[in-house]
A and B are shown apart, each in its own frame.
Chain A
Amino acid sequence: DAGITQSPRHKVTETGTPVTLRCHQTENHRYMYWYRQDPGHGLRLIHYSYGVKDTDKGEVSDGYSVSRSKTEDFLLTLESATSSQTSVYFCAIRADPQETQYFGPGTRLLVL
């Protein structure tokens, strides 16, 4: 599992509430990514980070923000959750200098 943990693993929330998902790695990798997985869409990149406090947007970043104050933690925040953000969220790290990305176990989020 490349030393990646995600928390919580499951969450049910209501529309309009803020939600923060956490990704934690133990191997000091520089690059970290957040994806969402939806049927018929595969995995789509939300945001990624290339170092502490260095982040950039992905393909589906609207409605999401991220923060990385420590190398080991990458947080994904839904400022005001909507039903369209019901999904499975995966964190990944890139094992430098390779390009291989390793994925965490995922967080299943249901927005009612």
Chain B
Amino acid sequence: QQQVKQSPQSLIVQKGGISIINCAYENTAFDYFPWYQQFPGKGPALLIAIRPDVSEKKEGRFTISFNKSAKQFSLHIMDSQPGDSATYFCAASAAGGGNKLTFGTGTQLKVEL
């Protein structure tokens, strides 16, 4: 059972546009929600993360929006650049039990000139 559902599967955005990727979770025990960026042939790299005590977190052009009641969170990439073209994964974990991450299925983002 997929506990973290991610959409869309792929996304094409024009340079300078806003990229939006959405995730929904089921397990109410989740309390840590990171986003990872992965380039071909590389391991995932942490981009930004949020905890449910805040509704939004911004780091540069990247913003996480979090809706605890809806059990949803999203990644917004402002002023998208060709260098942002990568696969993005949302994830979630619960405190204790090894803080095991449950990942979404990934979104392949392409930013076109």
A residues touching B (Cβ–Cβ < 8 Å)?
1, 31, 33, 40-45, 48, 50, 56, 58-59, 90, 94, 99-106
Contact = CB atoms under 8 A, between A and B. Distances in A.
> Among A56, A59, A99, A106, which residue has the most Cβ atoms of chain B within 10 A?
A99
Sorted nearest first, the 8 A-B pairs with minimum C-beta distance are A103-B43, A42-B103, A43-B103, A42-B105, A99-B32, A103-B44, A99-B99, A48-B98
A13 to B, nearest CB: 20
B12 interface: no
Contacts of A56: 98
Q: How large is the interface on B (under 10, 10 to 19, 20 to 34, 35 or more residues)?
A: 20 to 34
B106 A100 contact: no
Nearest to A54: B98
Contact of A102 (B6, B46, B91, B102): B46
B93 interface: yes
B11 interface: no
Interface string B3-37: 00010000000000000000000000000101010
Nearest to B104: A42
B49 interface: yes
A90 B101 contact: no
A83 to B, nearest CB: 22
A94 B99 contact: yes
A80 to B, nearest CB: 26
